[in-house]
């Protein structure tokens, strides 16, 4: 035909009859996963990564993520991309709203591979009841919606264990 190759996009000048054959293949959605975490009431600096499956070849240069959480149990204290595949893009932009964190990241170099996009830092409120609460990923939009995604929520488990006091003879152990 008059056009071949795998370059995308490609330009052809239509200055007469041309034959162009296009073959399209489906691209699997990118899985976006919030890691599970656990903590005790009053515990701080608990890192919860949000990661992606393989994004190689997708031209991944931007993302907007929104995570919701139970503000009665947890407090988000920060967001970073330390050790993440987005570390070369600079710091994420975020807003620590009560119970929700919208996050934006962008770069000029497209990413490849899989791994952590961003880390959310939490503190477990004190007092907090024992049990599990959902870390609800409500949005993950890549390249302004050009890359499809599948969202996988995480679970934050709170252990509300009282200190254990044991007596051995005349010695007391506080554990």
Pairing of strands 115-124, 30-34: unpaired
Report the residue count for the chain.
175
Q: What is the pLDDT along the chain (175 residues), one digit of tens a residue?
A: 566 666 667 788 888 888 777 777 777 899 999 999 999 999 999 999 999 999 999 999 999 999 999 999 999 999 999 999 999 999 999 999 999 999 999 999 999 999 999 999 999 999 888 999 999 999 999 999 999 999 999 999 999 765 555 555 665 555 5
Token representation of residue 161:
């264990």
């Amino acid at each position: 035909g008059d056009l071949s190759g795998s370059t995308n996009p490609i330009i052809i000048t239509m200055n007469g009859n041309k034959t162009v054959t296009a073959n399209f293949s489906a691209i699997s959605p990118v899985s976006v996963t919030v890691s599970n975490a656990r903590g005790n009431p009053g515990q701080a600096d608990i890192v919860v990564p949000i990661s992606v499956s393989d994004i190689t070849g997708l031209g991944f240069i931007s993302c907007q993520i929104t995570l919701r959480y139970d503000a009665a149990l947890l407090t988000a204290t920060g967001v970073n991309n330390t050790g993440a595949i987005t570390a070369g893009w600079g710091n994420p932009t975020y807003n620590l709203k009560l119970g929700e964190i919208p996050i934006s990241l962008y770069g000029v170099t497209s990413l490849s591979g899989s791994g952590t996009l961003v880390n959310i830092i939490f503190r477990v409120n004190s007092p907090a009841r024992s049990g599990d609460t959902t870390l609800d990923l409500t949005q993950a939009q890549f390249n302004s919606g050009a890359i499809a995604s599948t969202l996988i929520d995480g679970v934050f488990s709170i252990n509300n264990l009282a200190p254990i006091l044991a007596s051995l003879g005349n010695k007391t152990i506080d554990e």
